[in-house]
Amino acid sequence: MINTRNKVTPVHGIVYKWRRVRDRSSLVCALSIIMLFVAMPSNAYDDIVEPRTFTYAEHKLINGQVIRPVTVVYQSYGKLDADGGNGVLILHGMGGTAHAAGRHAADGPTGYWDELIGPGKPFDTDKYFVISPQALAGGHRDGKPGSGTTGPHSIDAETGRPYGMSFPTFTIRDMVHVHKKLLDHLGVKHLVVVSGISMGGYQALELIATYPDLADGAIPVVARGRSPAQHMANHLVRRTAVMNDENWQSGEYYGTGRYPVTGMAIASLTSASAYNGSALWYENNILEYDRDRSPYDDIANMFDMEAELLTGATARAETGIDANCYLYQSRALTTQNLGYARGDADNWRQGLANGLSRVNASVLMMPSRTDGSVQPRFAAEIVDILQTFGKTAKLHVIDSERGHSGSREFYQMIPAMSAFIDSLPGTQP
Catalytic residues: 198, 371, 404
Instruction: Report which of 235, 194, 247 is spatially closest to residue 94, judged by C-alpha positions.
Output: 235
The Cα 192–Cα 88 span in angstroms is 6
Strand-pair category, 52-56 with 70-77: antiparallel
The Cα 165–Cα 159 span in angstroms is 13
The Cα 286–Cα 145 span in angstroms is 37
Long-range contacts, 395-400 (Cβ 8 Å, 24+):
395/364, 395/365, 395/367, 396/364, 396/365, 396/366, 397/366, 397/367, 397/368, 397/369, 398/221, 398/222, 398/366, 398/367, 398/368, 398/369, 399/369, 400/278, 400/368, 400/369, 400/370
Phi/psi region, residue 303 (left: phi>0; alpha: psi -120 to 50; beta: rest), is beta
Q: Is 5 exposed, middle or buried (0-12, 13-18, 19+ CB in 10 A)?
A: exposed
Alpha helices in 45-147 (DSSP H): none
Cβ–Cβ < 8 Å for 421, 130: no
Strand-pair category, 129-133 with 70-77: antiparallel
Distance from the Cα of residue 304 to its chain's centroid: 27
The Cα 324–Cα 151 span in angstroms is 8
Half-sphere exposure of 34 (CA within 13 A, CB side): 6
Amino acid identity of residue 113, one-letter, is: W
Give me the phi and psi of 364, to 5 degrees please. Answer: -120, 105
DSSP letter at 304? Answer: H
